[in-house]
Amino acid sequence: MMTEDGALRFFYFNIQHAVEVHDWIIDHSGGLVGTKDIGELESPLEHIKNDIYYPNMERKLTHLVFGINKNHAFNDGNKRSSIALGGYFLELNGYDFVVTRFVQEMENIAVWVADNVIDKALLFEIVTSLIYEEEYSEALKLAIAIATLKADEQKNRESLC
């Protein structure tokens, strides 16, 4: 949908919906119930409404997923919630054609984001590719491989100490 000035209009969900989705996830897949800090959930939900900092779907979605994943608003299920809420944000804004692929691909990506293997810049590249390309480019596959190899090397060095 477009605004009067020709910009894309985005649809958002509220914090209550985010908490309800999280609670459903915990009820159906297990984990600790409840929130640690609701402000850590409010933050990315509000920030993505700022079209100056997050002017397009890929920037909004990257910040939403990264923020929910890393901020740890919930006692448990932050990664699962970041994927589910990211998928819902895509669907809400007419990107339903990519939701299934997004959810499937983000399963490992969300773990790597939480483990600091994939940073926000690489997540942005991944999200952009998921939205606009049928498969990852060779350059993106290489960037993901390098990030995971570096993390493995770091773990190996730490285990030797």
pLDDT in tens, 57-100: 999 999 999 999 999 999 999 999 999 999 999 999 999 999 99
| Cα 29 to Cα 26: distance, rounded to the nearest angstrom | 5
Tell me what pLDDT residue 2 has. Answer: 53
Tell me what pLDDT residue 150 has. Answer: 94
Task: Using pLDDT thresholds of 50, 70 and 90, give the confidence band for residue 159.
Answer: confident
pLDDT digits (tens, 9 = 90+) for 14-51: 999 999 999 999 999 999 999 999 999 999 999 999 99
Tell me what pLDDT residue 8 has. Answer: 77
| Cα 35 to Cα 33: distance, rounded to the nearest angstrom | 7
Tell me what pLDDT residue 1 has. Answer: 57
| Cα 79 to Cα 86: distance, rounded to the nearest angstrom | 11
CA trace torsion 36, 39, 42, 47 (10° rounding):
-130
Tell me what pLDDT residue 70 has. Answer: 97
> Among the listed ranges 30-34, 130-134, 154-158, which one has the minimum average pLDDT value?
154-158
Give the burial class of 22: count Cβ atoms within 10 A of its Cβ; 0-12 exposed, 13-18 middle, 19 or more buried.
buried
Residue 161 has pLDDT above 90, yes or no: no
Task: Using pLDDT thresholds of 50, 70 and 90, give the confidence band for residue 135.
Answer: very high
Place of tokens 């990211």: 86
